[in-house]
Amino acid sequence: MLDEHFWKDKLNSKKIIKEKKLYEDLINSYEKSINKLQDLDDLNQLAVSENNIDIQEETFQSIKDLRELVKKNEIKCFLSNEADILDCYIEIHAGAGGTESQDWADMLRRMYLKWSDFKNFKSSLISEHMGEEAGIKSSTIKIEGDYVFGWLKKESGIHRLVRISPFDSGARRHTSFASVWVYPVVDENINIEILDKDLRIDTYRSSGAGGQHVNTTDSAVRITHIPSKIVVQCQNERSQHKNKETCLNMLKARLYDFEIKKKEKENQNLEATKSDIGWGHQIRSYVLQPYRLVKDNRTNFESSSPDKVLDGEIDDFLEQSLYQIK
């Protein structure tokens, strides 16, 4: 930062300043925790010597609070991969099952948006395809904030819902599936080569909830990357040019995400996953009937409060997933 040319490259300087702040916050929090622990130790020794039970109990509670703070910093230490610091896109696709699965996909989108709000992150809708009766067939959202991709990167997979269907007049129990795919918003300094000859660009009329949000021109853009068969689309802007720019950024992110997973030897057949959204592939089950339980099939972590989970309280599941990273 002391280099005289540092501020000339705004994109690079912005990235470095962000990284610097994150590291400074982590170090400062660590130092405060050490000092706080020493103060609590001194206070506890004084309380023991004076046989002051009230102070000892207050000290014990303060230590529990400090432990939670240390745990948060520990989690940040797990987010050390190159892409963890980046923002992310979340793609959600309804599985087979019509309205049931489309409503479930919409519930998942709401869950991640609620989580984003809890974290004071910024979220925006990139594209959506509404269901005929309710819910969504597919949707892409963007979440911006510190370590967003690092937090959510293990959410990719099939999510399963079991409930009494609100769309079934017979009040029967239904099982629905939806796929979630999380990938990073690529940093501007990362060079991903995309050739024009490898792209097929289609435009279409935006579909939305109605009213002023529906375009009367073909401003929505869909780009297909022919070699990889990756498809991205955007319809949140009225300008076709801006939607195309967003699509290219998303495509760049998808290609980068593919390379990350290949290097980490975690790459899976994503197209097969997306085409087979059903039994045997789910990473997490959300059961509302006949009992109430959310269970992650990879970590075996469970919650008996599915309403809270669906309202965005998913940090415990995210943390357990991070602890599983080798």
Q: Kindly state the DSSP code that residue 50 receives in the 8-state scheme.
A: T
Instruction: Return the pLDDT at 265.
Output: 55
Which residue's entry shows tokens 């609590």?
A: 40
- CB 87 within 8 Å of CB 142: yes
For 83-326, the fitting CATH number among 3.40.50.280, 3.20.20.70, 3.30.70.1660, 1.10.10.350 is 3.30.70.1660
- Rounded to the nearest 10 degrees, the angle between the axes of helix 10-49 and helix 53-78 is 160
In order along its 326 residues, the chain shows pLDDT tens digits of 666 666 776 666 776 777 787 778 888 888 888 998 999 899 989 989 988 888 888 998 999 888 888 877 887 777 877 788 889 999 999 988 788 999 999 999 999 999 999 999 999 999 899 988 889 999 999 999 988 999 999 999 999 999 998 887 777 888 999 999 999 988 665 667 788 888 898 888 776 554 444 455 677 888 899 888 888 888 877 788 888 888 888 888 888 887 767 665 544 444 444 545 555 568 999 999 889 999 999 999 999 999 999 999 999 999 998 887 54
Report d(CA 29, CA 73) in Å as an integer.
8
- CB 261 within 8 Å of CB 77: no
Q: What's the token pair of residue 148?
A: 């967003």
Instruction: Return the pLDDT at 1.
Output: 60
Which residue's entry shows tokens 């469970």?
A: 302
- Spell out the domain ranges in the chain: 6-78, 83-326
Name the phi and psi angles at 81, rounded to 5.
-70, 160
Contacts made by residues 15-23, CB under 8 angstroms, sequence distance 24+: 15/187, 15/189, 18/85, 19/85, 22/85, 22/146, 22/147
- Strand 293-296: give its sheet, edge to edge: 122-130, 136-144, 88-94, 173-184, 157-164, 282-287, 293-296, 302-303
